[in-house]
Amino acid sequence: MKILIVGAGAIGGMLGGYLAAAGHEVGLVARGAHLAELRADGLMLRANGKARTFHLPASDDPADFGPQDAVFIALKAYAIGPMLGRLAPVLWPDTPVVTAINGLPWWYFYREGGRYDGSSIACLDPDDSMREALDAKHLVGCVVHAAAEVTEPGVVEHTGGRGFIMGELDGAITPRLEAIGKALEGAGLQPTLSGRIRDDIWTKLIGNLSYNPVAALTGALMNEINDNADLLDLIRRMMFEAIAVGEAYGARFTVSVEERLGMARKLGAAKISMLQDLERGRPLEIDAIVGAVVELARREHVSTPSTDGVLALLRERARHTLPR
């Protein structure tokens, strides 16, 4: 397949490297020093103590690549909007655009089939510009259960996990979804095709919504949070609140709060992504991971006092810490 990775950083770079190793024609969209290194010396992917370098076409402009069989968006949530309108030159009428992103996606209610079908989440797409930039027929949801890090420009280290849960927005198992799954499986990754991708989004989100802001506010590593009974009590309250919000919109949870905490404990002394971003002076995915949940809670009159308080603290922490 001809596959374009838009946002060839940690997860995107990892994905691009594995797909290229499996023989697919991969292009990378990146920027800055990372792009310069990709062009000069290629993408180095490190995994399991081994390193391999891939010399792949790389650009900051998707139009340089022409129409694709599949496009993966692996950008931070705040960077997606400006990119969507630039994807038209790489899309055939049925090219899937797989959103391998964190938090609630801007498209959450598109083709959802419920009472809010087609509506927007205001904090993610306040002027409907994202809706207008890309036809929803292209979109495929994706939840990533893998970890990677850009250790230096041009170098991506795969640190754990290979899971990619993917699903059409209307729940159908389509030929294009099966083709993407086959490509990822052939690349040594672990795809799961889901008929209820929103459930999978919520299951991951209850962990991100709680652990990410707590790490950013405290500076604590994952194991330090899990060893602190008071912080764990806050984490639990936030998870229960998020589950109540998800269920108000029809989400089904097959993982309990204690099981979700167990999943987090397996990550050991990991430095959580929002803390990494804060330390590096990068914008935080506050709205996608926390703000959107609070917005949906207000819409359905679900009480989320712990999440509300953490969101207020997180916004103020970001305002005082990050460049303006």
Please give the domain boundaries of the chain with CATH numbers for all domains: 2-195 (3.40.50.720), 199-321 (1.10.1040.10)
Question: What is the Cα–Cα distance from 278 to 53, expressed in whole angstroms?
Answer: 30
What pLDDT, on the 0 to 100 scale, is given for residue 269? Answer: 84
Q: What is the pLDDT of residues 46-63, one digit of tens each?
A: 999 999 999 999 999 999
pLDDT at residue 321 greater than cutoff 90: no
Q: What is the pLDDT of residues 229-244, one digit of tens each?
A: 999 999 999 999 999 9
- Catalytically annotated residues: 204
Q: What whole-number percentage of the chain has pLDDT above 90?
A: 91
Residue 70 — pLDDT band, cuts 50, 70, 90?
very high
Q: Is 49 left (phi over 0), alpha (psi -120 to 50) or beta?
A: left
Length of the chain: 324
Long-range (24+ apart) CB contacts under 8 A made by 23-27 are 24/183, 24/187, 25/1, 26/54, 26/56, 27/2, 27/3, 27/56, 27/57, 27/58, 27/59, 27/64, 27/65, 27/68
What pLDDT, on the 0 to 100 scale, is given for residue 236? Answer: 98
What is the value of pTM for the model shown? 0.95
pLDDT at residue 315 greater than cutoff 70: yes
Q: What is the pLDDT of residues 283-306, one digit of tens each?
A: 999 999 999 999 999 999 999 999
What pLDDT, on the 0 to 100 scale, is given for residue 324? Answer: 60
Angle at 229 between CA 306 and CA 255, to 5 degrees: 65
Residue 322 DSSP one-character state: S
**Residue 21: Cβ within 10 Å count:** 15
pLDDT at residue 322 greater than cutoff 80: no
Mean pLDDT of the chain: 96
Q: Name the token pair of 200.
A: 């999978």
SS3 150: strand
Q: What is the pLDDT of residues 166-194, one digit of tens each?
A: 999 999 999 999 999 999 999 999 999 99
Q: In this structure, are residues 158 and 148 in contact, taking their beta carbons and an 8 Å threshold?
A: yes
The whole-angstrom distance between residue 14's C-alpha and the CA centroid of its chain comes to: 14
